Each structure stands twice: as C-alpha cells, then as structure tokens.
A and B are shown apart, each in its own frame.
Chain A
Amino acid sequence: MKRIDFIRNSVLISSGVLVAPSLIAQGERVNLKNRLTILHTNDTHSNIDPFPENHHKYPGKGGVARRYELIQQVRAEEENVLLLDAGDIFQGTPYFNKYGGILEMKLMTALGYDAATMGNHDFDGGMEGFVKARMSADFPFLCSNYEFKHTPIDGYTGDYTIIKKGNIKVGVFGVGIELKGLVPDNKFGESVYLDPIEIANDKALELRNQGCDLVICLSHLGYEYHKDKVSDRILARKTKNIHLIIGGHTHTFLDKPTEEKNLDDQTVLINQVGWAGINVGRVDFNFEKNVFVKNDVLIVE
C-alpha cells in the first residue's frame, strides 16, 4: 500500500486570503496524534468471500479477510483510526439468506468497526431479524432520522456517538433513506421517517456544541439522483457543521471525495466506495491547534 504523502506541488485556491508558506510546510511534519484516519465501507451486501476469479466484473476482488488485513496495516501505521460503514450490510450472498446477518455482524465486530448506519436492505430480515443479528455486533448503529419507538428495533440503535481519538473529538451520526416503497411495509412497520436534512442539521449542531472537532454523517441516502430526491450532494448543500458525509445506497465508486459547499459556504466532503467491499475508502484529516482563523482556504493538489 502506498504511504500517503502530504501537500506536494500545492496549488493555492484562495478567497482573497494570504496563506503563509510556513503554514503549508507544516503539513509535512504532521504529528500522528493530530491526524485522524477514517476508513470506510458501504453496501458490503454480505460479500464475505472475494468474488470468484471468473466473475464478469470484479474477478477476485473484495473479501472480508483481506479487508481485515488492510485495516490492520493502516492501524499499524497510524495512531488514530476510525472504521465506519454506511449501511446495506445485509443481502447479496447465501450467507445472509442462510444465517440472517449474524456472520456479517460478527465479522464487523472482529474488524473493529466503530459505528455503522442502517441501509434499506438491513431491514430485509424484518426488524426482529435485524435485532437478532445485531446481538452479534458490539458497535453502535446510528440512525438519527428513523424513529423506532414503537418497533422491535427500539433501543438497538443510537442517535449519534462521540469518539475521542488522540487530541481529536469526533462526532458521528447517521441518516437513512425513506423506506416506504423501497422496503415492504411489514418490514419497517411503525418506524417513522424524519426529514434527513432537518435531522442532520440538528445533530451536527448538537455535536459541534458538544465540542466535536470533526462531524461525520453516515448516510444511506444515495450519492445523487436526476430528480430532486434528497441525496448526499443535496444534504451537503443544505446543512452546516458537517465535514464529511460517508455515503452509500447508490453503489457509487468515487476515486476521491466530492467537494460541496454547505450553507455557510464551507467545504463538505462526500465519499462512497462502490459496493461489496471491493474498495475501502480512506480519508485522513490533519489537525493543528489554533493555527489560522480564516474561512475556507482550499489547497487542492
């Protein structure tokens, strides 16, 4: 795996703000304590073994054992690593049909996932099915815009979580897609769907007020649609206080995060890594204490 080297041949895109060269140079001496590495997956869809060598599209790609090794290698190099998933863990191979998602949960726990959100397919075994599998997971499921009060899932998901990594305080919450029409009614029952934009704004503000340095939204809304249907790109534009949206649902392969401007005209990154565990996304944030207090200066390599 390639080591990531920081800030080479930088091009300055600035909104009329001068940036001291020394500040840029500092990037090369980043203290590991001040770096947070986020590893993420989405739509793994019960793909536990790698695709067969004769697979028409992704021969020999993926596999949970290899993902584990990859993650372990990153953990060996970095001090602060977060591992997150944006939903649709279930459905796609006989492992799910036969074992109902228990194996997927055991493996994610073994890989050390810090948090996940629910995708529509995570309702495929019904709500009781999810809860049964959930018993084998020891990381939180963050579903901020599903109200599960009168359902069997009540108490098995959370609103958000705050994780302290080194010097960095990270807030994570999750938003899901409207289930009506996508999931048979009896599989989500009395769950109430809340507006993801409104909820995302509420949760992000709350996390910032609690002193989070970085706010991450796990989203199963989908990257982008032709119609006005709410997506990660729309969510990014219509909210504030979110730094990174880790998306899913549309199985979108992004080589690099998409940059959007939020309501405060600040940059929000959106990332998604296809499906089936073919790729793992890595986003490194470097932090520096009280260096510079100006809005939105971007240096894009």
Chain B
Amino acid sequence: MHRTVLIIGAGLTACSSVNILSVKSESISVTDEFQKVSVVDSIVYPYRIALEEEMFEVIATTENNFTKSRPNGSLNNWAADAILNSVDKTTFGLTPYFCLLNLGGLRSPLNKGNIVLGDVYKLMPFDNEIVVVELPFSSLDKIAQYLTSSGGEPISNAVLDLNHIDLKRAVDDYSSFYVVTSDYLMNGGDNMGFFQENVGVIYTNILMRDAMISEAKKQGVLVFNNEKRIILE
C-alpha cells in the first residue's frame, strides 16, 4: 500500500527553483472510521428526505409475483415487452422486429402488491440506454444459437423454437432487421457477439429503467404474461 518514489531533480531546474525530492502515496479506504456528523449531512438531508419519499411512491400494483428464470419467466416477458413498447414507431421511423435483453440485467423481482418507484430502481439499477440495432438477417441464426446455449434470455415479439427464431411480424426486407436491446449488450456485454455485426445503431436516449417506469404507470395493474417464448426441447 505504501510506496515511496524519489525523483531527484527531475529536470525541473530549467524553469523553477524548486525540485521534487520524493513522492509518497496511499489509497485511503472510506469507511465508518470517518463517520461524524458534519455540514455534509445538513446539505444532503432535504434531498435525501424528498428522494426517499419519491422512491416510496406507488406507481402500479400487481396481483402476481414477477420472477426471472430460465428458460422462461414472467419478469423476463414483462421487461422485454416494456422495453419493446417504449420504442415509438413514429419517433424513430421504423418498426423493430423484436426485443432481446439479458437475464443477468434484471436484478430484482417485482412482488405481489404495490409497486413503488424504488422497486424499479432495484430491478434496473443500471443506467443502460435502449438502442435499436440493425442486424443482417444472417445474425438470426447466431442469436438462436446464443439463446440455446445460454438457456434463455428475455425476449419479446419473437420465439426461439428449437434452434430457430420465429419472428412475430412480417419480414419487409431480407437483408436486415431491427432489434431493440440495451447499449450494454450492443457494446459486447454478456458476449452477445452478434451485435458486433450491426450495420447501424439508433440511440433512443431512453434509459431502460425510465421505460419500465412509464410502462408500469401506463399498465396500472402490471400485465402478467407467463407464455413460453424460449422452447429448447
């Protein structure tokens, strides 16, 4: 942790009468060793109180527990549907084919009863942005392979049916198609290498969490959908 480096007369004399003699460093861990009431608490207090109040705001209710699981789960479906719905066709001038997320990105279930804002922050603590990725049609097989080997990821408006992706909408162009996902996955997260083959990316400027919040508010009572979208055998 502790280290001394002596830089003696490190060429400083040309412009200065002061020389650096030695250097010493440490990385100090910020722990409760330093806990003390201070001016900082009084600055933070009103913000913290208002924030806590907001985090307890009820934004929707649910009659079911939404949980994530492989290959399918009610939370998987809800999240992927919410993200797909948030990409407005008129704003972006295109209709995405489907939405693909990663199960690992869903960090907490939504439990039966009231859904407060803080629940969505727990579900989606990351500030990932929704992106629309244009992929060549040849990528479809790689997506199918990925889903087969991972054992399933949240998907909306498409079904993995035994190593094959069934699209739920008509194909207008056999050269490329649009998938809604997160900037994290598009940038190589969770080894979804097929996103590297993209021929174009649209940044929506919408955070995944914000999309989930607006979708929950819109639904009022969260839409429970337990259908099987990943069929492995």
Quick check: is B171 within 8 A (CB to CB) of the other chain? no
Q: A interface, how many residues as a size bin? A: 35 or more
B21 an interface residue at 8 Å Cβ cutoff? yes
B41 touches A61 (CB 8 A): no
> Is B170 interfacial (CB 8 A cutoff)?
no
A172 and B174 alpha carbons, distance in the complex (Å): 55
| Cβ-based interface call for A189 (8 A) | no
Chain B positions 1-30 with a Cβ under 8 Å from a chain A Cβ: 1-30
Q: In the complex, which residues of chain B have a beta carbon less than 8 angstroms from the beta carbon of A61?
A: 29-31
Segment of B43-51, B72-80, B148-156, B222-230 in the binding face: B43-51
Q: How far does the Cβ of A258 sit from chain B's closest Cβ, in whole Å?
A: 11
Bound Cα distance from A184 to B203, whole angstroms: 7
On whether the beta carbons of B6 and A65 are closer than 8 Å, the reply is no
Contact at B23–A65, with CB atoms within 8 Å? no
Counted as pairs of residues, one from A and one from B, with CB atoms less than 8 Å apart, the total is 227
Selected interface stretch from A143-151, A194-202, A224-232, A263-271 = A263-271
B21 neighbours in A (Cβ, 8 Å): 26-27, 30, 286-288, 291
Residues B51 and A299 in contact, CB atoms below 8 Å apart: no
User: Does A294 lie within 8 Å of B8, measured CB to CB?
Assistant: yes
Instruction: Return chain B residues, CB-CB under 8 Å to A75.
Output: none
- Give the chain A neighbours of B5 by CB distance below 8 A: 257, 259, 267, 269, 298-300
Please state if B22 and A7 are interface contacts (CB–CB under 8 Å): yes
| Cβ-defined contact, B43 with A299, below 8 A | no
> Is the Cβ of B27 less than 8 Å from the Cβ of A255?
yes
Partner of B8, one of A214, A282, A291: A291
Beta-carbon contact of A213 and B16 below 8 Å: yes
A70 touches B8 (CB 8 A): no
Q: With the chains together, A106 CA to B20 CA distance in Å? A: 34
Cα–Cα, bound, A207→B25 (Å): 24
CA–CA, A31 and B181, complex, Å: 58
Considering the chains assembled together, what is the distance between the CA atoms of A213 and B11 in angstroms?
A: 10
Closest 8 CB pairs of A and B: A299-B6, A301-B4, A66-B34, A69-B34, A65-B40, A256-B3, A213-B18, A288-B21
Cα(A280)–Cα(B10), bound, Å: 26
Q: Is the CB of B43 within 8 A of A103?
A: yes
Inter-subunit contact A1/B28 (CB<8 Å) = yes
In the complex, the answer to whether B6 meets A297 with C-beta atoms within 8 Å is yes
Rounded to whole Å, the gap between the CB of B81 and the closest CB of chain A is 23
Binary CB contact string for chain A from 57 to 68 against chain B (1 if under 8 A, 0 otherwise):
000111111111
* Chain A minimum-CB-distance residue to B22: A286
Report whether A290 and B11 are in contact in the complex, using a CB–CB cutoff of 8 Å: no
> Contacts of A2 on B, CB cut-off 8 Å?
2, 26
Q: Is the CB of A142 closer than 8 A to any CB of chain B?
A: no
Distance of A232 Cα from B28 Cα, bound (Å): 22
A171 to chain B, nearest CB (A): 11
- Evaluate contact between B38 and A282: CB separation under 8 angstroms: no
Residues of the A chain whose Cβ atoms lie less than 8 Å from the Cβ of B35: 65-66, 69
Least Cβ–Cβ distance between A256 and chain B, in angstroms:
4
Nearest chain B CB to A203 CB, angstrom units: 15
* Shortest distance from the beta carbon of A94 to any chain B beta carbon, whole Å: 6
Taking the closest CB of chain A, its distance from the CB of B29, in whole angstroms, is 6
Q: Which residues of A contact B16 (CB under 8 A)?
A: 169, 208, 211-213
Contact of A63 among B1, B23, B25, B30 (CB under 8 A): B30
Looking at the complex, which one of A10, A106, A279 makes contact with B4 (CB distance below 8 Å)? A10
Say yes or no: A279-B1 contact (C-beta < 8 A), given A64-B44, A68-B40, A295-B10.
no
Q: In whole angstroms, what is the CA distance A1 to B2 when docked?
A: 13
If A7-B6, A70-B34, A269-B23 are given as contacts, then 7 extra A-B residue pairs at C-beta distance below 8 Å, sorted by A number, are: A27-B22, A64-B40, A103-B47, A169-B16, A184-B203, A209-B15, A212-B15
